[in-house]
Amino acid sequence: MTDARLGLSDLRLHQATLANGARVVVVPQPSLHRVALGVYVGAGSRYEGAETNGISHFLEHMLYRGTDKHPTAHALNLAFERLGGTLYAATHADHTYLAITTPARHVEAACTLLGESMRAPLLSAIDVERRIVREEILEDLDEDGRQVDVDNVVRALGFGDHPLGFTITGPLAAVDRWDEPTLRAHLRRNYVGDNAVVVLAGAIDEKTGLRLAKHAFGELPRGERARYVPFAPTQRGVRRKHVPSPGSQTDLRLSFITPGEKSPMAPAVELLLRVLDDGMSTRLYHRLVDEGGLVYDCEATWEPFEDCGAFDLGAEVQHARIGEVVEACVELVEELAEHGPTTAEIDKARERHHFAVEAMLDDAEAIAEGAGGAVFFDRPREPTAWATRFDGLDRAALAEAARTIFRADRASLVTVGTMPTQAREVVKRALARLA
């Protein structure tokens, strides 16, 4: 087995805290030629309420609409791109991530620009951004205004009216509520030192990285870290929802609420994911595609949060085969709960995880996300621990995790498309087996 620890043992996470509470992580990688800069901020839909849902996402868009020195979105993007990188920003349920990767000689200018964008954005041309965000939201709605993005529907079904059930973009009707005073208040509350982690990885040393972070982000107000409402499951049986939508296929998600990443069971849940879907020789693809010929492609994902998570099996399916696909998915999770994966499957999944961690040594962006996320989410800081995360797990541990999560009182099934009557009956019988 390849031992990723050999290379990771030379990787060092240097961490410091600025006077304003901002945590800084510098990961020197002298063999690389570029520097990845990233900023984690505790802003996202899980910190919002029904009246504020979508504001974190809208503000993330507005940060890049200009600063005093670069007063338009075009001017600011041009300034970043002339440094050899492209701005990246994404709002998630539990954080926002802003990033750019540049040649080492331009990282100081990139830090300065990103710091200005966070600290003093103009928030100009709000009406233009409203039009853009409306278009983004409309991608997930049909002509009648119904939500047809299967991932959004399954989160709403599984988490109900808890913020984890909200869409990240928020409802279409909310877009007109975001004016400059509202956005500035959200900026002052969330884009603060105590709620942020700055990470630099690649061709940079510890001293230089800390100096640049202090210069660019040290003037953010201290503020305080965002707090969320914990999720308390109240589900008693399988939840089902079908959203009629035209098309040649139906989009399907079978989702299970899981323990969070702080749970002792989290590594076993993550390794279960790799057993099910980490390449075309894993169980899910083999059962649905190679063996069954039921779908063209399929996937399993795990979205972990601190206190809970969601484990999804999904595929796009011919309408008449919906029942067969649900049956196959239920059989898969039943088998894992009863017997666990094979030792060979565990060894392969563990080895591929080692390969993936080892590959981070050649990727400054991956190291920045991993190291910054380790500090922001309070994960293990030692890089060798990333590679050995699954090393103590066996069949019994994975079977126990499967029995814990693959249950009726944690399950939700969403289909977006067409549900024939015959398929509906097959689905009903298959889901009854989870009980």
* The pLDDT value given to residue 224: 97
CATH number assigned to the domain covering 239-432: 3.30.830.10
Q: What's the CATH class of domain 11-217?
A: alpha beta
CA distance 48 to 166: 9
* The pLDDT value given to residue 290: 96
Give me the sign of the Cα torsion angle 42, 45, 48, 54.
positive
Per-residue burial over 139-166, b if 16 or more Cβ lie within 10 Å, else e, is: ebeeeeeebbbbbbbbbbbbbeebbbbb
CA distance 421 to 402: 31
* The pLDDT value given to residue 9: 80
Over 192-203, what HEC string results? CHHHEEEEEEEC
Which regions of the chain are under pLDDT 50?
1-2
CA distance 8 to 10: 5
* The pLDDT value given to residue 218: 98
Judge if 11-217 and 239-432 fold alike in CATH terms.
Answer: yes
Over the chain, what HEC string results? CCCCHHHHCCCCCEEEECCCCCEEEEEECCCCCEEEEEEEECCCHHHCCCCCCCHHHHHHHHHCCCCCCCCCHHHHHHHHHCCCCCCEEEECCCCEEEEEEEEHHHHHHHHHHHHHHHHCCCCCCHHHHHHHHHHHHHCCECCCCCECCHHHHHHHHHHCCCHHHCCCCCCHHHHHHCCHHHHHHHHHHHCCHHHEEEEEEECCCHHHHHHHHHHHHCCCCCCCCCCCCCCCCCCCCCEEEEEECCCCEEEEEEEEEEECCCCCCHHHHHHHHHHHCCCCCCHHHHHHHHHCCCCCCEEEEEEECCCEEEEEEEEEEEHHHHHHHHHHHHHHHHHHHHHCCCHHHHHHHHHHHHHHHHHHHHCHHHHHHHHHHHHHCCCCCCHHHHHCCCCCCCHHHHHHHHHHHCCHHHEEEEEEECCCHHHHHHHHHHHHCCC
CA neighbor of 383 nearest in space, from 393, 392, 373, 394: 373
CA distance 225 to 223: 7
CA distance 373 to 358: 17
Residues 235-286 have pLDDT tens digits of: 999 999 999 999 999 999 999 999 999 999 999 999 999 999 999 999 999 9
* The pLDDT value given to residue 3: 54
* The pLDDT value given to residue 6: 52
* The pLDDT value given to residue 271: 98
CA distance 276 to 390: 15
Cα-Cα-Cα-Cα dihedral of 336, 342, 348, 354, to 10°? 70
Which tokens sit at 427?
Answer: 């689905």
Spatial contact of 256 and 405, defined as CB atoms under 8 Å apart = yes
Cross-strand partners of 317 = 250
Residue type, 189: R
Domain ranges of the chain: 11-217, 239-432
* The pLDDT value given to residue 428: 97
Give the number of C-alpha atoms closer than 13 A to the C-alpha of residue 332, restricted to the C-beta side: 25
In Å, what is the CA distance from 328 to each residue of 172, 286, 331, 364?
Answer: 37, 11, 5, 40
Residue type, 83: L
* The pLDDT value given to residue 10: 84
Cross-strand partners of 234 = none
| Planar angle of CA 135, 56, 78, nearest 5 degrees | 65
CB-neighbour burial class of residue 45 (10 A; exposed 0-12, middle 13-18, buried 19+) = buried
* The pLDDT value given to residue 394: 96
